[in-house]
């Protein structure tokens, strides 16, 4: 089997050396070159034709976002961002994902050599995953015509739903930050409440919630423990706690849980979906978006058995068809549709 050809782009000689050492342990990955800035990287991409790029954000001569924007427009290829766990790093990384980067690795702020070593398995797996992604040109990420995608009368979007106790439960991982925004921007302000578990570091939570809040008509926030769940609102799990939905009499509330990792994640989609199966049942609509792994698939089947109606994103529109694919294989899905059709499917289920 041919090895994955990797080009490392980072202005830090230490980071380039550490990443090269980490990837040398993977028999299926070959570091074909390194570059200290985007201009050198541009020449090496032409000469070496790598399969995957790791890209730092803050670099001399040209910042990483400008380089990424040009790359995805002229020579689309899988890119894994090397990001810092800071508020600024979170904003830039989310913008990089919007520009077409496949995923990111959070670079620690202190003791970089040892900390990077601790994340070696994650770094290797993300490059392996990226090598299998069908990257689309930047034009794919431009805003879409919402009405055209919904393919239904505008009056349908303006109606008020009869039920107020419905909950939309969403799970996502790799590629999910952009996928969720695309779904949310096509839902009306009075849509049923949405609860979301997206795999992200806690340092990224506030920036992500802000981006989701800005893109649609619904209001988005980081969930707080005991917070009442109301229609027209989106409640996002913080990056370091599980989110559950609980009953408080006739009402639904958010519950945060600082328990152990589940399926190697905190927050975990499995935890959210289990609580939906137990406490919401037939009043729930489950949505599994693009993501690596299988987190939430078993619990999504429990949701179906409890009476929920479930939607999974199809393979063609997913960055990684891991989580939705596993949910589909386990028989958890009622509907499998493209990303562009998920909002329309949700609205159809509200009739």
Q: Please report the domains of the chain, with CATH numbers, ordered by start residue.
A: 4-140 (3.40.50.2300), 146-349 (3.40.50.180)
Q: Of the residues 36, 83, 173, 317, which is catalytic?
A: 173
Contact between residue 16 and residue 42 where contact means Cβ atoms under 8 Å apart: no
Q: Which DSSP string do the residues of 115-167 spell out, in sequence order?
A: HHHHTHHHHHHHHHHHHT--PPPGGGGSPP-HHHHHTS-HHHHHPPPS-S--E
Establish whether 173 is a catalytic residue. Answer: yes
Give the Cβ contact number of residue 297 at 10 Å: 27
Q: Of the residues 199, 211, 242, 265, which is catalytic?
A: 199
Percent of the chain at pLDDT above 70? 90
- pLDDT tens-place string over residues 75-117: 999 999 988 777 788 899 999 999 999 999 887 776 766 777 7
Give, in order, the Cα–Cα distances in Å from 126 to each of 23, 106, 173, 320: 11, 12, 12, 11
Task: Output the six-digit token pair for 33.
Answer: 């070159």
Establish whether 295 is a catalytic residue. Answer: yes
- pLDDT tens-place string over residues 183-202: 999 999 999 999 999 999 99
Contact between residue 141 and residue 98 where contact means Cβ atoms under 8 Å apart: yes
Residue owning tokens 């028999």: 27
Question: Mutual orientation of helices 176-184 and 339-349 as an angle, nearest 10°?
Answer: 50
pLDDT bucket at 1, cuts 50 / 70 / 90: low
- Residue 139: predicted pLDDT: 57
Task: Output the six-digit token pair for 53.
Answer: 């790029």
Mean pLDDT for the chain overall: 90
Establish whether 205 is a catalytic residue. Answer: no
């Amino acid at each position: 089997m041919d090895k994955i050809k990797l080009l490392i782009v980072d202005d830090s000689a230490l980071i380039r050396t550490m990443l090269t050492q980490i990837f040398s342990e993977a028999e299926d990955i070959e570091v074909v070159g390194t570059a200290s800035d985007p201009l050198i990287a541009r020449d090496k991409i032409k000469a070496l034709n790598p399969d995957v790029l790791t890209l730092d954000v803050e670099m001399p001569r040209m910042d990483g976002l400008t380089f990424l924007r040009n790359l995805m427009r002229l020579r689309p290829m899988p890119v894994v961002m090397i990001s810092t766990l800071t508020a600024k790093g979170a904003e830039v990384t989310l913008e990089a994902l919007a520009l077409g980067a496949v995923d990111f690795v959070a670079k620690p702020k202190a003791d970089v050599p040892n900390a990077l070593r601790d994340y070696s398995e994650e770094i290797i797996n993300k490059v392996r995953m990226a090598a299998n992604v069908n990257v689309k040109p930047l034009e794919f990420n431009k805003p879409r015509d919402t009405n055209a995608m919904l393919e239904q009368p505008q009056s349908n979007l303006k109606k008020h739903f009869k039920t107020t106790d419905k909950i939309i439960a969403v799970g996502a991982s790799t590629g999910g930050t952009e996928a969720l925004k695309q779904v949310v921007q096509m839902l009306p302000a009075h849509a049923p409440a949405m609860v979301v578990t997206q795999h992200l570091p806690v340092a990224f939570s506030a920036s992500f919630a802000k981006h989701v809040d800005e893109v649609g008509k619904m209001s988005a926030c980081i969930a707080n423990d005991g917070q009442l769940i109301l229609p027209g609102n989106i409640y996002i799990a913080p990056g370091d706690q599980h989110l559950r939905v609980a009953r408080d009499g006739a009402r639904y509330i958010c519950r945060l849980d600082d328990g152990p990792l589940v399926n190697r994640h905190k927050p975990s989609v499995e935890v959210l979906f289990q609580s939906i199966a137990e406490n919401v049942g037939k009043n729930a609509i489950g949505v599994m978006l693009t993501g690596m792994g299988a987190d939430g698939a078993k619990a999504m089947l429990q949701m179906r058995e409890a009476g929920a109606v479930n939607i999974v994103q199809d393979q063609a529109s997913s960055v990684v068809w891991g989580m939705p694919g596993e949910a589909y294989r386990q028989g958890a899905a009622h509907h499998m549709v493209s990303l562009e059709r998920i909002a329309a499917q949700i609205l159809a289920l509200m009739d």
